[in-house]
Amino acid sequence: MHIRRLACCLLGVWFGVSFFMWFVATHNLESVDSLLEKPAPTAQEQINKLGHDAARSLVRYHSSELNRFYFQTWERIQIGLGILLLLVLFFGTLGDRGVLLLCLLMIAAVLVERFVLTPEMTELGRKIDFLGPDEPSAERTSFWMRHWAYSGVECVKLALGAILTGKLLMRHRRHSSHALQEVDMIDEADNGHVDR
């Protein structure tokens, strides 16, 4: 029973940090324009020297590099977290194939992100970082295609995790109700042995 709780806790951490990463990545890029709209007076001097468009490109490049670093780091952590979860599930569920398969598919999704999509997005992202916002580019189109693919893989991974959590919780409920039935049977079997 404690193993299932540990597995659910690991899944909760996995979900929580994934949602937090989405928030951070979105906020980093959205904050560029709000920063440039109302900069501090000393920053305004530097923006004036560079020019608004050049300053925007530079700040956006910095935000993109931060996002790239955060996602690459989080993907590495997810691989370790996934392996730890797999071990917990293997020993805690006595090798339940359905549960193990769901965990393996989650790890596979992270591996696709880490070794296929993220390197391509990083390379393309660096090529388009200094393009104007309305400037057409084949690299920008390719970047957004991979970005949507990454988002799709992320949604599949989280859906698999939700199914896995559901299976663990249902198993816990069945185990708990079975244990309560055994206690009731023992209590009702023979009360004559009780000392009075």
Reported as a single tens digit per residue, the pLDDT across 67-83 is 999 999 999 999 999 99
| Contact present, 8 and 169 (Cβ < 8 Å) | yes
Cα within 13 Å of Cα(11), Cβ side = 26
Question: Is 37 a residue whose pLDDT tops 80?
Answer: yes
- Residue 44 is part of which domain span? 2-181
pLDDT band at 84 (very low <50, low <70, confident <90, very high): very high
Question: Is 182 a residue whose pLDDT tops 60?
Answer: no
Note the pLDDT of residue 173.
Answer: 63
Does residue 194 belong to any structural domain of this protein? no
Q: What is the mean pLDDT of residues 25-46?
A: 92
Spatial neighbors of 164 by CB under 8 A, at least 6 apart, are 11, 99, 102, 103, 106
**Number of folded domains in the chain?**
1
Q: In 3D, which of 24, 31, 56 has the Cα closest to residue 133? A: 56
How buried is residue 96: exposed, middle or buried, by Cβ count under 10 Å (0-12/13-18/19+)? middle
- Report phi then psi at 142, rounded to 5: -65, -40
pLDDT band at 171 (very low <50, low <70, confident <90, very high): confident
pTM for the whole structure: 0.84
Does residue 162 belong to any structural domain of this protein? yes
pLDDT band at 172 (very low <50, low <70, confident <90, very high): low
Cα–Cα distance for residue pair 163/156, rounded to 1 Å:
11
Cα–Cα distance for residue pair 28/159, rounded to 1 Å:
26
Does residue 188 belong to any structural domain of this protein? no
First CA to last CA distance, the chain:
36
Question: Is 3 a residue whose pLDDT tops 90?
Answer: no
Q: In 3D, which of 39, 25, 40 has the Cα closest to residue 75? A: 25
Reported as a single tens digit per residue, the pLDDT across 115-165 is 999 999 999 999 999 998 788 899 999 999 999 999 999 999 999 999 999
Question: Is 88 a residue whose pLDDT tops 90?
Answer: yes
